[in-house]
């Protein structure tokens, strides 16, 4: 591996319009101190200000959208989805497979590893504000559970996200979010398992208790138990639908 040696003849870069657009845009975001959720200028305005075609602006924004940095809503505008800075490092990862049961189980193994570590880190690092935020999400989730008599995937997900955020490492949320999306794609046809996720309910509070008590190993253990219930539900669903031999 020839590291440490710069290429004596690096290829020259003549045209890189959309790259330049992204650089300018990143600088703009920083100057205006824009954060997640905030709206950035119209494509037409960007095109005019940067003196490039709207098409070029669109290609640049398409790249950011693909990286999950930005969300475009037709008729509304383009919104920041994450913090952007001029010195970001992108690591697009595409994984083959994942639509079948085995693929889903594989993603769940990754999630088990990350969920446990995130919970443990969270127990170490979460401050008072973060703990309060997690408890707020937990209360909302429990309330939804009791009023609807079942797990609500929306509120459940919000709870987990608040844990990832409090871990102090945004990569946890990024990676698990990608997998969560896959989950939803699979899940659109309900697996025929009644009370799916029901068994995972109590562990949400035990995880929170460990986090609040700053007990990393306890949080890790409870998180592992939670994932185990999901794996179990999934296996039941697969058996129901006879998906095990699907390719």
Partner DNA sequence: GTGGTTCAATGGTCCAACCAATTTCTACAC
Partner DNA sequence: GTGTAGAAATTGGTTGGACCATTGAACCAC
**C-beta of 56 vs 229, nearer to DNA:** 56
Kindly state whether residue 55 participates in binding DNA, applying the rule CB under 7 A: yes
Residues 13-52 that bind DNA (CB under 7 A): 14-18, 42-44, 47, 51-52
Q: How far is the CB of 190 from a second copy (least distance, A)?
A: 7
Q: Looking at beta carbons, which pairs linking 111-117 to residues 24 or more positions away fall under 8 Å? A: 111/176, 111/179, 111/227, 112/224, 112/227, 112/231, 114/172, 114/175, 114/176, 115/160, 115/176, 115/223, 115/224, 115/226, 115/227, 116/220, 116/223, 116/224, 116/227, 117/167, 117/172, 117/220
Q: Looking at beta carbons, which pairs linking 133-136 to residues 24 or more positions away fall under 8 Å? A: 133/162, 133/166, 134/159, 134/162, 134/163, 134/166, 134/208, 134/211, 135/208, 135/212
Kindly state whether residue 103 participates in binding DNA, applying the rule CB under 7 A: no
Q: How far is the CB of 95 from a second copy (least distance, A)?
A: 4
Q: How far is the CB of 197 from DNA (least distance, A)?
A: 29
Q: Residues 176-215 vs a second copy: string with x where CB under 8 A?
A: --xx-xx-xx-xxxx-------------------------
Q: How far is the CB of 62 from a second copy (least distance, A)?
A: 5
Structural tokens at position 98: 């994942």
For 37, phi then psi, to 5°, come to: 95, -20
> How far apart, in whole angstroms, are the C-alpha atoms of residue 164 and residue 149?
26
- Asked whether the beta carbons of 173 and 122 are under 8 A apart, the reply is no
> How far apart, in whole angstroms, are the C-alpha atoms of residue 212 and residue 102?
35
Q: What is the CA radius of gyration of the chain?
A: 22
> How many residues sit close enough to DNA to count as binding (CB under 7 A)?
25
Cross-strand pairs, 80: 70
When CB distances are held under 5 to 8 angstroms depending on the partner's kind, the choice from DNA, a second copy, none that residue 72 binds is: DNA
Kindly state whether residue 77 participates in binding a second copy, applying the rule CB under 8 A: no
Among 34, 42, 153, 225, binds a second copy (CB under 8 A): 153
Kindly state whether residue 76 participates in binding DNA, applying the rule CB under 7 A: yes
- Asked whether the beta carbons of 121 and 167 are under 8 A apart, the reply is yes
Among 24, 28, 72, 100, binds DNA (CB under 7 A): 72
**Binding region for a second copy (CB under 8 A) out of 27-35, 36-44, 109-117, 131-139:** 109-117
Q: How far is the CB of 137 from a second copy (least distance, A)?
A: 17
Q: Summarize as ranges the residues that interact with a second copy (CB under 8 A).
A: 1, 3-4, 15, 55, 58-59, 62-63, 65-69, 74, 82-85, 87-99, 103, 106-107, 109-110, 112-114, 116-118, 121, 153-154, 169-172, 174-175, 178-179, 181-182, 184-185, 187-190
Residues engaged in binding DNA (CB under 7 A): 14-18, 42-44, 47, 51-56, 58-59, 61, 72-78
């Amino acid at each position: 591996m020839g590291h440490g040696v710069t290429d004596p003849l690096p290829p020259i870069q003549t045209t890189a319009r959309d790259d330049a657009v992204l650089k300018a845009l990143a600088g703009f975001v920083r100057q205006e101190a824009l954060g997640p959720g905030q709206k950035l200028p119209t494509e037409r305005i960007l095109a005019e200000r940067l003196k490039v075609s709207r098409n070029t602006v669109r290609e640049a924004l398409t790249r950011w959208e693909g990286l999950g940095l930005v969300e475009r809503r037709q008729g509304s505008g383009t919104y920041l989805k994450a913090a952007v800075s001029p010195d970001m490092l992108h690591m697009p990862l595409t994984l083959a497979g994942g639509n079948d049961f085995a693929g889903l189980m594989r993603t769940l193994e990754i999630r088990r590893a990350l969920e446990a570590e995130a919970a443990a880190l969270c127990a170490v690092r979460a401050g008072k504000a973060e703990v309060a935020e997690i408890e707020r999400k937990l209360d909302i989730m429990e309330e939804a559970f009791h009023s609807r008599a079942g797990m609500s995937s929306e509120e459940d997900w919000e709870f987990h996200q608040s844990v990832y955020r409090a871990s102090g490492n945004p990569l946890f949320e990024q990676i698990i979010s990608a997998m969560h999306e896959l989950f939803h794609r699979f899940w659109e046809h309900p697996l025929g398992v009644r009370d799916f996720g029901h068994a995972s309910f109590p562990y949400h509070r035990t995880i929170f208790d460990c986090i609040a008590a700053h007990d990393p190993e306890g949080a890790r253990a409870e998180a592992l138990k939670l994932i185990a219930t999901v794996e179990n539900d999934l296996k039941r669903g697969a058996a129901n639908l006879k998906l095990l031999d699907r390719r």
